[in-house]
Structure 1
Amino acid sequence: MPPAPPAAASPWTPAFRRFFVAQCLSWLGSSMTPVALSFGVLRETGSTAALGLVLTASTVPMIALLLVGGVVADRVPRRALLTITHLVAGLAQLGSACWFLLDARSLPVLVAVTALGGLASAFTAPALRGIITDLVPHEAIGRANAVRTTSRNVTRMLGPGAAGLLVAVADAGWALALDAICLGLAAAVLATIPNPDSSPRPPGAPTPAPTAARTSLPGAVRELLADLRGGWEEFTKHRWLWLVTCAFTGMNVLIGGVWLVLGPVSAEHTIGSAGWGLVLGARAAGQVAGGVLAYRWSPARPMVAVLLLPLPYAAVFAALAAGGGLPLLLGLAVLAGLGSAMGDVLWETTLQQRVARDALSRVASIDMLLSFVSVPVGQLAAPALSALLGAPLVIGLGAVLCAGTLLAPLASADVRGLRAQAPR
């Protein structure tokens, strides 16, 4: 009688349970912020320019400091860093809430507190992607990522509706105040997670010492540049990593241009705004289902799956270009959401298993920087190309480019041949 297969490792360590609670609190609050802030600013100022300024104030510090955030997250205990950044983000949201609730209508004040929240995000995001390896066994990383992806997508479905209701019946400030409370509670929970026995440090980094060289500005700049160089070297030495990242960068250009800009434009003349809302909901439902399925699925060749799973986006673009009906678009949107969520879990898991632990946050920050920058590139390019060529043709070209972008890295044996790591 053959021996029974070993039981799958569970991610539910005591540390991960606390982390999961903190993440759910943080995600629930942050999922309400875009709706509350956007409608609140428009209601109070009546100016789209003011809204653009506020949103930019949040984005620019995050992009500008993201690589620095990766360096810091690799140098200090990530749990402690996350506790601090959640507190800072909570204070920023509390300031935004007071701007609405206390009638403090000075736009520079709102811009300043929003920028503070963006600054906190620059350090939070790389630390979140690196901390999983500190909290769960190596063989349970995939399941931990599946749990996180599912809960994040559920809060993304619930949060905007709750924020819209609060804005409609009360004030945007109450939704932002609730986000501040959630962030404060998340920080309190994170503070109870013990730090790992050995804090991550970059390879070859000197032991901290209270010397003038370490505390002087030139010395700090040299160390920062050395850490950034080390993170880039770790990123580029994995051929599969930078090839797939380049594919994702191209995909995000298409998502920004076709899905976020031209999709609604095309839908307005076919399925209408209500139909497009159903398509967005179908994709969100697929993302939730994808996170659930990823909990028990571990393909032998993860990068092949990562690149093939989002291909339904190409089909969605083709259907939009051809004026496809609502039932077809709903089905394809579900598949696109399903594939993107499962691909995200596999991508995160492979990074956390293959990249050196003490460089993980820096590598993640490079990945995120390329993603964040590429979306607005597509958003800016799509209207110009649409005016020149027409929206249907641009969307059709987007479908072809989407398939080509995802399939091109499979020409590399490093991508095709990368195998899932066996449990340790």
Structure 2
Amino acid sequence: MTAAGTEAALAPVAAAHPAHPAHPAHPAHPAHRSPQVLRWLGAYTASTLGDSVYYLALSWAAVSSGTPAQAGLVMTVSAVPRALLMLVGGVVADRLGPRRVVIVSDAVRCLSTFGLAAILLLASPGLWVLAAVALVFGTVDALFLPAVGALPPRIADRDQLARVQGMRGLAYRLGAVLGGPLGGLAVATGGPAGAFGVAGVLFALSVPLLCTLRLRSLPGDDRADRDGRDGRGKALSDLRDGLRYLRGHRILGPLMIVVLLGDLGFTGPANVGLAILSEQRGWGASGIGWVLAGFGTGAGAAALLVTVLGRIPRAGAVLGWAIVLGAVTLGALAQVPRLPVAVAVAVVTGLLTGLSGVLCGTLVQTECDPAFLGRVSAVSSLGSLGIAPLSYPLTGTAMGLWGPGPVYIVSAAVCAASGLFALAVPALRRAELSGS
């Protein structure tokens, strides 16, 4: 329901965080005109497109080389190291610096996909090669995701971070929309080897753009640099420090609960539930595509809105109410019998959940001490990418027993509880984005 990341700054909290001054001493560069932000956005878009093409090529190659069960196992391999190592990835991002981690991550993905493309051109390897590459990607994702969440405060002024998050949301939607057709075209013309080659090119495009970034230093970076040079094995201690910092933060701690509850309620119905709902309503496979397109359109519109406005007054309250209203529309999705109405409901749901996701991402980045930003980003990503998918089997089983209607209502209630919790925590409810 919400994406990893947030940024809220009450005046007293901002005073307690000199790492993020409430107002920059010089006029802020609008994010959409900043060369730094545009280079980062170009790299992120190329990387997102590469991801979409890679996963399509991997699924096609796995299905072509084995049984459906074996293909599912190959696709699941990536999730294991990503879930297990995500928190470690946050520590690595804070110790080594997010720019370095993101560059190395995309370079490894580039080399891995080019290597797999070469192997597929020269031989017909078994599924174990695909599984090995999937394992590498899952490990790299565990490092990449926290690091990419820690970059925006180092390339943009604090009052531009909402715009940066909106632009990131648009780039993600662009990658999701264009990546599928691009990957399909690549498979159709060059087979899986050609598609993996295209993914490698896209990852390669991001690396020089990332290398040209000049990150600003933030208070706390010196401490991270010293920790990164300390060879005495402080990783576990750093992880404990990050979790302790998060637990004691009056905005970020509650926000992580909001993210986790929202994702637990939303992920199952939005993924497993749609297929079951479409089958029972007689919408067919195309119906799933139309509803997903509705979600994407609404979320993209929310990202564009925040990019244009840049400032959302009373961000904490808007976040809470957006989640509550999004929960209502999510529950309504299972009650509408006609596909056009379901698509319209999905658009509204995507708009509300997309808005709450952007606000969450911006709040994390402005509220968090830079020295802990990688670890905090890792915790929020772990909720959506590691814990929430565990609800898939439960959602499918429950819908098989009771049908989609009751399960959607229960899921909507979990999402609504997330929003109500955000509204019940005074510090989070009153949180403001910089400049609002």
Normalised TM-score (structure 1): 0.89
Q: Report the alpha carbon displacement of residue 261 of structure 1 after superposing the two structures with TM.
A: 1.2
Q: Which residue pairs with 2:422 in the alignment?
A: 409
Contact 2:93/2:143 (<8 A) preserved: yes
In 2, Cα distance between equivalents of 1:161 and 1:15:
29
SS in 1 for 2:197: helix
Considering Cα pairs closer than 8 Å and 6+ residues apart, tell me whether 1 or 2 has the greater RCO.
2
SS in 2 for 1:171: helix
Contact 1:252/1:378 (<8 A) preserved: no
Q: Which residue pairs with 2:359 in the alignment?
A: 346
In 2, Cα distance between equivalents of 1:323 and 1:207:
55
Residue type matched to 1:389 in 2? Answer: W
Residue type matched to 2:318 in 1? Answer: A
In 1, Cα distance between equivalents of 2:27 and 2:217:
27
After superposition, the C-alpha distances for 1:174-231 in whole angstroms (9 at most, x for unaligned) are: 122111111112112212223445695485885676xxxx43xxx21xx112211121
Contact 2:264/2:414 (<8 A) preserved: no
In 1, Cα distance between equivalents of 2:162 and 2:173:
17
Task: Say yes or no: does 1:273 pair with 2:285.
Answer: yes
Residues 1:318 and 1:64: Cα distance change in structure 2 (over 3 Å): closer
- The residue correspondences of 1:106-121 to structure 2 (distance < 5 A) are 106-121=126-141
SS in 2 for 1:300: coil
Residue type matched to 1:192 in 2? Answer: T
Task: Say yes or no: does 1:304 pair with 2:317.
Answer: yes
Aligned mate of 2:298, from 277, 286, 293? 286
After superposition, the C-alpha distances for 1:110-145 in whole angstroms (9 at most, x for unaligned) are: 211221122111111111111111111222111111
Residue type matched to 1:41 in 2? Answer: A
Residues 1:207 and 1:258: Cα distance change in structure 2 (over 3 Å): closer
Residues 1:99 and 1:57: Cα distance change in structure 2 (over 3 Å): farther
Unaligned 5+ runs, structure 1: 1-5
Aligned mate of 2:173, from 141, 146, 153? 153
Task: Say yes or no: does 1:228 pair with 2:242.
Answer: no
Residues 1:290 and 1:108: Cα distance change in structure 2 (over 3 Å): same
Q: Report the alpha carbon displacement of residue 420 of structure 1 after superposing the two structures with TM.
A: 2.5
* 154-163 or 379-388, which deviates more: 379-388
Aligned mate of 1:392, from 377, 398, 405? 405
Residues 1:321 and 1:15: Cα distance change in structure 2 (over 3 Å): closer
Aligned mate of 2:55, from 31, 34, 44? 34
Q: Which residue pairs with 1:3 in the alignment?
A: none
Residue type matched to 2:73 in 1? Answer: L
Q: Which residue pairs with 2:157 in the alignment?
A: 137
Unaligned 5+ runs, structure 2: 1-25
In 2, Cα distance between equivalents of 1:283 and 1:354:
28
Residue type matched to 1:371 in 2? Answer: S
- The residue correspondences of 1:11-410 to structure 2 (distance < 5 A) are 11=31, 12-45=33-66, 47-197=67-217, 201=221, 206=226, 214-215=230-231, 219-220=232-233, 223-270=234-281, 271-295=283-307, 296-410=309-423
SS in 2 for 1:309: helix
SS in 1 for 2:204: helix
In 2, Cα distance between equivalents of 1:399 and 1:208:
43
Normalised TM-score (structure 2): 0.86
Q: Report the alpha carbon displacement of residue 99 of structure 1 after superposing the two structures with TM.
A: 4.2
* 311-320 or 32-41, which deviates more: 311-320
Residue type matched to 1:13 in 2? Answer: S
Residues 1:275 and 1:415: Cα distance change in structure 2 (over 3 Å): same
Aligned residues: 408
Residues 1:346 and 1:69: Cα distance change in structure 2 (over 3 Å): same
Residues 1:330 and 1:390: Cα distance change in structure 2 (over 3 Å): closer
Q: CA RMSD in A?
A: 2.4
In 2, Cα distance between equivalents of 1:289 and 1:230:
38
Contact 2:86/2:143 (<8 A) preserved: yes
Q: Report the alpha carbon displacement of residue 393 of structure 1 after superposing the two structures with TM.
A: 2.0
Residues 1:291 and 1:208: Cα distance change in structure 2 (over 3 Å): closer
